[in-house]
Chains A and B, each alone.
Chain A
Amino acid sequence: MDSHELDFIKKLANNYRKELFEKFVEVGQGHPGSTFSMLDIVTTLYYGGYMDYRKDSNRFANKLLISKGHATVALYPILKHFEIIPKEDWDNWGKGLPTQLRVFGNVSIPGVDMTSGSLGHGVGVGAGMAIANPHNHVHTIISEGELYEGSTWEALLFVAHRQIRNMTIFIDINNLIILGKTDDCLMLNSIREKLSGFPFDLYSVDGHNPNSIAAALDAEAYQPKIILCNTVKGKGFSLMENKPEWHYMQAITPEQIEQCRKEINDATA
């Protein structure tokens, strides 16, 4: 990926931030903190050539599972851009008009590969998909909070044992869960040390830097990859950044809306 492409992805991600922010305001609910923390990862995957786009069918041959299902909305503007999700569905959402879209992802939505919302399923489902499709790649994004779910560790054991190399697991580490910092609520760290006992190739990246994400994706791997993405919950908006309450959409004043718009416009300029 050259610098021109990286600039393009950065700019695109911020445009999607802007679009998603307006939609969150319109819908009045959802999970902006978690969505904005992984937005740069999904933008890199879709526009960095990691999803194997097939123009003839207007579909992606590779799979992307959003195990942290509350953040699936990050995909919607991207899938709209590819005309996989009809523009009308996006426009109608939040206006009380018919739409396929909702806060949590569902396989009934075009381009969404897994129904999610309950945490801890993505690694296992991804493993099954990867076995079924050895010639395609499965990307699974989990939140660090999903490391609290036993089923995640069950599935990690499985992926490690079978050395499923056509699967990449991203862990979105923004250090927050609903009630506060992960290490205050129930310590997860060191995630890297915990995972280092498994036969995975581990990478730690800045989860908001497409260059860093792409470098980990491009690195030659000898074992299944886990990419530890250090991120900021609510990235892009000072109102939300590192604020656990912005896990959920909050009441927002007109002044705050203008401030958010200004910040994202400045970043996009």
Chain B
Amino acid sequence: MLQRDAFIEEITKKLETDKDIYFLSADFGAAALDVLREKYPDNFIHCGISEQAMIDIATGLALQGKKVFCYAMAPFISLRAIEQIKTGPSLMDLPICIMSVGIGIGYADAGPTHYITEDFACLRSIINCNIYTTADAGTARRLANKLLKNPEFSYIRFDRHDQPELEVTNFTTDLDYRVMSDTVTEDKVLVIGSGKMAHIVKKAYDEQPEKIFGVDLIHAKPFPKTLLNAISVAKGVIVIDEQTPSGSLGAAVMEACADNDIIKKIKTITIPEMYVFENGGREYLLNKLGLNKDNILKTLNDHF
């Protein structure tokens, strides 16, 4: 199941008892959204292909105490509307949830206008913006219930494609992250990924569990303090991120370590700072750019 469908299904369930929820779309669909808007037309607002106005409209609704979910394709709801995100939910401290679909090079066949390889960096710079990335539908469902229970200003990053369940179930209680083995020891390297990258981390972990402590980082901002404890124990860190380097997840890990006096070797695997015009599909491009299991294992063996 698609992550967005799982998330929207939970919203639809909640709408049965909570009519203060509003779901706004900038002309972006989903199978589950068809059900929501059919069942609760008064709580669905089509904003047109107008991401900026959508965030402003959401701000007005949230100023009046409504629980608002905004939904659009990732490159447009993030960068095109970033000033509205700053002046609305950020500046006025409003619990608007921004649902962003197709992170990284998820739209590989579409081309660079539809890639979003800098949204993490940009949204991370917005004050009080919680950033979540889901690796599978199960996580999306859990996250929906968390945010429906306690709405917060959040930017939620969904993969475009159906991803299999990660088969890692030991989530932290606050849904910050989940780990692929029980304990971290000083001879293991922490390998961190989010979203689709968490699946690549899992593949690397499955191949060398004795050397890797794998982490699916869900709630990357604010950076989870308990994960810093694991980093401080580990031999080092590898971060793989479907983003360009500046301000990426790897940068977030480095900042968190520096702020907490943790000195560790940290290696990052990212998309290089370039636009990718070559096509061949997402898997082809990820492999070509080195965002794969083999490069994690090579980095592990070369540097640790």
Contact = CB atoms under 8 A, between A and B. Distances in A.
Interface string A144-160: 00000011001101100
Interface residues of A, number: 28
A265 interface: no
A154 B61 contact: no
Interface of B (DSSP majority class): helix
Given A132-B64, A132-B65, A132-B66, A124 B57 contact: yes
A129 B60 contact: yes
B83 A158 contact: no
Given A124-B53, A151-B53, A131 B48 contact: no
A97 interface: no
A103 interface: no
A158 B65 contact: no
A121 B84 CA distance: 8
B6 interface: no
Interface string A130-151: 1111000010000000000011
Nearest to A156: B53
B125 interface: no
Contacts of B50: 151, 154-155, 157-158
Contacts of A126: 60
A151 B91 contact: no
B138 interface: no
B244 interface: no
B57 A115 contact: no
Contacts of A129: 60-61, 63-64
Contact of B60 (A116, A120, A124, A150): A124
Interface string B30-66: 0000000000000001011010111111111111111
B83 A118 contact: yes
Interface of A (DSSP majority class): helix
Interface in B57-84: 57-66, 83-84
B57 A128 contact: yes
A64 interface: no
A251 interface: no
Contacts, number: 90
B260 to A, nearest CB: 32
A211 B124 CA distance: 50
B9 to A, nearest CB: 24
B56 A155 contact: yes
Contacts of A150: 52
Interface string A109-127: 0000111111011011111
A125 B48 contact: no
Interface string B84-100: 10011001100000000
Contacts of B59: 121, 124-125, 128
A107 interface: yes
Contacts of B54: 124
A125 B60 contact: yes
Interface of A: 107, 113-118, 120-121, 123-133, 138, 150-151, 154-155, 157-158, 161
Given A107-B92, A127-B57, A157-B48, 17 more contacts: A113-B63, A114-B63, A118-B87, A121-B84, A121-B87, A124-B55, A124-B56, A124-B60, A128-B61, A132-B63, A138-B60, A151-B52, A154-B50, A157-B53, A158-B50, A158-B53, A161-B48
